[in-house]
Amino acid sequence: MLNQQEQHTKKLQKCRVLGPCAVEFAAANTGSWRLERPIVRFNECIKCGTCQRFCPADLITIDKGKKECVDIDMNYCKGCGICANECPKKCIDMVDERSVG
Amino acid sequence: MAHYKMLDGNTACVEAIKMAKVKVVSAYPITPQSTIAEKLSEEVESGALDAGYIRVESEHTAMSCAVGAQLTGVRTATATASVGLALMHEVLNVASGCRVPIVMPVVNRSLASPWSLWCDHQDSIAERDSGWLQLYCENVQDIYDTMLMAYRIAENPEVLTPIMVCLDGFFLSHSMQKVLLPEQAEVDEFIGEYTVNNLKLDPEDPMVIDNLIGSDEITEMKYQQAIGFEKAHDVMLEVFEEFYQKFGRRKALVEGYRTEDAEAVVVTLGSMSGTAKYVVDQLHEQGHKVGAVKVVSFRPFPAKELRELLSGIKKVAVIDRTTGFGGEGAPMWVETKAALSDEYLVKGYIAGLAGRDIHTGTIEQVFRDILASDQAGEKPVWIDCNTEHAMNIREVNKYV
Amino acid sequence: MKNMKFYGVGGQGVVTATKVMSSAVSLYEDKYAITVPAYGHERRGAPVYSDIIMDDKPITLNCFVYHPDVVIVMDETVVDKNVNIGAGCAEHTILVLNTGSREKAESLACQFGFKEVYYADATHIAVEYIGRNIPNGPILGVLAKTGIVSIESIETALIDFFGEKAGEKNAKSARAAYEKTAKM
């Protein structure tokens, strides 16, 4: 608590550091690795949430109230295809990333 | 009949281990060694290698299992790299102290931190004093050959000292090259069956090994090890000669390339040695009298042979793929300097850290510098290092 | 001595392509070839490169290729990922490209100054013959068209590498790409 209060009185300043400190976070944007993109055919989707449970990166949110209920965070989806593989209705297609643009 | 195969360095190690008919494998995968551990497990699974595979949880255990298994009277196999070797450190000394002649490929990779998957010699050079012999390889054929010879050297009753066969990560471990593989029968004839020449764990005839020893005897036991290293020097020469007679490929403790009438030479270790030879040829075409010297055996260090090879050559550039912090120079430089009299100009260069390429330009730069130098300088030269920029490469936002 | 540089993205079999190519040259053409693979933090989709040094006599050199005689681009999107496929190239450097489009080949040749380009849609051929979008077999067929290696050696090396069943498919895909290769 004290630390947080102190921070208001402190200023953000550029400092030189020695040794390995990451200064670029682009590498964390794993979505850029994707070769294939999962696309859900929502007319066949039964909103079971299987894709969400199997996503190894936990990037899928299910909102059962919506028609397009499966939301995949494309900033981080690597296109591994596990969701498509596990979907009981087989209604997730893996589409060549280049064709999506 | 011997036949050609395309192998990468790791597979060459696996082929040699397989042909040496090891009975126990205990390896933990680590980049860039992983394919050794993986391929050995496949060979065991398929039955091509009649051995037990112990799935260990760390390199410390991998080496512990190897020591224990080999003490029961069989050849064992393990392999590692980088921080894996560092984690083995404690047990490396147990293996050498118990005189267990394990043959282990070490796929050279930088030590953390900073983390890198790439090659330098910091990992194995840091184990300089662990009581292991160390041979360094130049190409994939060399790896296979060295592995076979390593069994003979380590297991010799007068040596009984474990040995690291060091190969540069990626540059050798993952480089596909044409390798001439002999027949199993030829290998059997050369290496022979494993025989126990010293300590043995046997329930029928129990023996307590590695108990607490008083200081009145330890100096003597360490002296025994020192004698083992001395003998290793001679045994290596015998084994190299026998290998040449049988397989036609020569090896030496330290190898010279166009050193006759050379004005300057580079002393190298590992895969950079091939590139050095290439540059020597190119510089000869331009009229420069230069040569290359490859150190094959770092432990024992062939000081006498190096002296003979360099006799009359006044300028000696030593390339270290390690840092040697705080010393007057890096480890290879220190060894070379110690081997030569003060009449020689021995200058140290640090290059190729964490996979920074030692290309033709790097070696040319070293030759240009040594040819123009008339003294060694007080510190090693950090090749390709932007020393001004070095202190300013990272800037972060901090609350102050 | 001939130097080659392969560019692609992780998951395309760039390193495998160099392995097969170096085997084809070393085992079936009585020459020598070594691969110098560059590994990063392994993952699909990241730009990958891998080099081959090839010669009539044993190779002592063991470092990366800086002045390629042949540049093989297995995925042209590496250009968008800031990879300079023209780095270190000379007048005589040949480009081998995975694309079915002449316009694409022309634009890359123009952008990076290649005088000679061999191209075919290796990914499409791979899907057709192997059923997967991994173009390493077909791209070697395109490479064979440059004359640096024979298509027969490539076929044998592919069968050798992938085994009888998958190897036959790969060999067929390489042959198909070889036949379909256009030169510019």
Residue B253 pLDDT more than 90? Answer: yes
Task: List pLDDT tens digits, range A29-68.
Answer: 788 778 889 999 999 999 999 999 999 999 999 998 988 9
Backbone phi and psi for residue C23, each to the nearest 5 degrees, phi listed first: -65, -45
The whole-number pLDDT of residue C96 equals 97
Q: Tell me the H-state helices in B260-376.
A: 272-285, 303-310, 331-339, 360-372
The whole-number pLDDT of residue C9 equals 87
Instruction: Answer whether B32 sits within 8 Å of C39, measured CB to CB.
Output: yes
Burial call B262-277: b when 16+ CB within 10 Å, e when fewer: bebbbbbbbbbbbbbb
Q: Which residue of A has its CA nearest to B113?
A: A20
Report pTM.
0.90
Instruction: Answer whether B395 sits within 8 Å of A23, measured CB to CB.
Output: yes
* Residues in chain C, pLDDT under 70: 40-45
Q: pLDDT band at residue B173, thresholds of 50, 70 and 90?
A: very high
Q: Do residues B372 and B347 touch, judged by C-beta distance below 8 A?
A: no
Residue C44, min C-alpha distance to chain A (Å): 6
Q: pLDDT band at residue A24, thresholds of 50, 70 and 90?
A: low
Across residues B189-194, what is the average pLDDT?
96
Backbone phi and psi for residue C29, each to the nearest 5 degrees, phi listed first: -130, 5
Residue A19, min C-alpha distance to chain C (Å): 20
DSSP label of B80: B
Instruction: Answer whether B359 sits within 8 Å of C39, measured CB to CB.
Output: no
Chain A residues within an 8 Å CB radius of C46: 33
Q: Which residue of A has its CA nearest to C124?
A: A96
Q: Would an 8 Å CB–CB cutoff place C41 in contact with chain B?
A: yes
| ipTM of predicted assembly, 2 dp | 0.93
Final residue in a domain of this structure, among B247, B262, B288: B247
Chain A residues within an 8 Å CB radius of C75: none
Domain shared by B214 and B259, yes or no: no
Residue A62: give its domain's CATH number.
3.30.70.20
C-alpha to C-alpha distance for B232 and B253, rounded to whole angstroms: 11
Residue B273 lies in domain: 254-387
Is position A15 within any domain? no
What residue ranges define each of the domains in chain C, with the CATH number in brackets?
2-183 (3.40.920.10)
Across residues B223-237, what is the average pLDDT?
98
Instruction: Answer whether A35 sits within 8 Å of C46, measured CB to CB.
Output: no
Backbone phi and psi for residue A80, each to the nearest 5 degrees, phi listed first: -70, -25
3-state SS, C64-111, equals CCCCCCEEEECCHHHHCCCCCCCCCCCCCCEEEEECCCHHHHHHHHHH
Task: List pLDDT tens digits, range B263-316.
Answer: 999 999 999 999 999 999 999 999 999 999 999 999 999 999 999 999 999 999
Q: pLDDT band at residue A26, thresholds of 50, 70 and 90?
A: low
Domain shared by B267 and B168, yes or no: no
Is position A11 within any domain? no
Is position B146 within any domain? yes
Residue B327: give its domain's CATH number.
3.40.50.920
Is position A80 within any domain? yes
Residue C165, min C-alpha distance to chain B (Å): 20
The whole-number pLDDT of residue A32 equals 77
Instruction: Answer whether B360 sits within 8 Å of C61, measured CB to CB.
Output: yes
The whole-number pLDDT of residue B316 equals 98
Residue C56, min C-alpha distance to chain B (Å): 13
Backbone phi and psi for residue C3, each to the nearest 5 degrees, phi listed first: -115, 135
Instruction: Answer whether B6 sits within 8 Å of C19, measured CB to CB.
Output: yes
Residue B96 pLDDT more than 60? Answer: yes
Is position A41 within any domain? yes
Residue B245 pLDDT more than 70? Answer: yes
Domain shared by B293 and B169, yes or no: no
Is position B262 within any domain? yes
Chain C residues within an 8 Å CB radius of B170: 37-39
Domain shared by B9 and B128, yes or no: yes
Residue B332 pLDDT more than 60? Answer: yes
Is position A14 within any domain? no
Task: List pLDDT tens digits, range C26-52.
Answer: 999 999 999 998 876 556 667 889 999
Final residue in a domain of this structure, among B225, B247, B269: B247
The whole-number pLDDT of residue B32 equals 95
Smallest CA-to-CA distance from C140 within C124, C127, C113, C122 is with C122
Structural domains of chain A, count: 1
Chain C residues within an 8 Å CB radius of A32: 45
Q: pLDDT band at residue A101, thresholds of 50, 70 and 90?
A: low
Is position B337 within any domain? yes
The whole-number pLDDT of residue B62 equals 98
What residues contact residue B354 under an 8 Å CB cut-off, 6+ apart?
Answer: B110, B114, B116, B118, B119, B120
Q: Do residues B66 and B88 touch, judged by C-beta distance below 8 A?
A: no
What residues contact residue A8 under an 8 Å CB cut-off, 6+ apart?
Answer: none
Instruction: Answer whether B171 sits within 8 Å of C62, measured CB to CB.
Output: yes
Spacing of C-alpha B151 from chain mean position: 14
Q: Would an 8 Å CB–CB cutoff place A29 in contact with chain C?
A: no
Residue C142, min C-alpha distance to chain B (Å): 22
Residue B221 pLDDT more than 60? Answer: yes
Residue A63 lies in domain: 22-100
The whole-number pLDDT of residue B104 equals 98
Instruction: Answer whether C133 sits within 8 Å of A33, measured CB to CB.
Output: no
C-alpha to C-alpha distance for C129 and C116, rounded to whole angstroms: 27
Chain A residues within an 8 Å CB radius of B399: 7, 10-13
Is position B280 within any domain? yes
Q: How far is CA B50 from CA A17, B187, B216, B337, in A?
A: 53, 16, 43, 47
The whole-number pLDDT of residue A4 equals 60
Instruction: Answer whether C19 sits within 8 Å of B170, measured CB to CB.
Output: no
Structure tokens at B248: 């036609």
Q: What percent of chain A has pLDDT over 90?
A: 51
Beta-bridged to residue B397, according to DSSP, are A14
Domain shared by B8 and B56, yes or no: yes
Q: Is B45 helix (H, G, I), strand (E, B) or coil?
A: helix
Burial label, B312 (beta-carbon count in 10 A; 0-12, 13-18, 19+): exposed
Q: pLDDT band at residue B113, thresholds of 50, 70 and 90?
A: very high
Residue with the larger pLDDT of the pair B12 and B375? B12
